[in-house]
Amino acid sequence: MLRVLFDAMGYQVVAEAGTGEAALAAYMAQRPDFVTLDISLPDINGLEVLKRIRAFDPAARVIVITGNNARALEVEALSLGALRVVLKPFNFKTFKRLFEGPGTAP
């Protein structure tokens, strides 16, 4: 679903991953400009993946996506270096606005 949105916005998706371990491997291999990261993954919690990505690359730009609207989770994700936390379900127009304007990608 996000691939379709990013393609429509003119971004190139360089990797997709269904697990935290796969996401870490893809990040280290591809070093993308930014990452969208779900909290709910089958193997590793997304917050742990965020910690590991930021340990590998402190300048990594990560947007966390979650269906959990707990304020504590949002605060923790932001404290770990996430640029933003987007709640599911999200509106595509709202999500697209994160990538528009000065500097485009977050």
AA identity, residue 34: F
pLDDT at 101: 55
pTM of the predicted model as reported, rounded to 2 decimal places? 0.85
Q: Which domain holds residue 10?
A: 2-92
CATH number, domain containing residue 53: 3.40.50.2300
In a domain, 22, yes or no: yes
In a domain, 98, yes or no: no
Task: Output the CA torsion sign for 30, 36, 42, 43.
Answer: positive
The 10s digit of each residue's pLDDT in 15-69 is 999 999 999 999 999 999 999 999 999 999 999 999 999 999 999 999 999 888 7
pLDDT at 4: 86
pLDDT at 30: 95
**How many domains, in total, are found in the chain?**
1
Task: Note whether 50 and 81 are within 8 A (CB).
Answer: yes
Strands ordered across the beta sheet of 35-38: 35-38, 62-66, 84-87
Is residue 70 very low, low, confident or very high in pLDDT (cuts 50, 70, 90)? confident
In a domain, 46, yes or no: yes
Is residue 102 very low, low, confident or very high in pLDDT (cuts 50, 70, 90)? very low
Number of H-type helices and E-type strands within the chain: 5, 3
In a domain, 103, yes or no: no
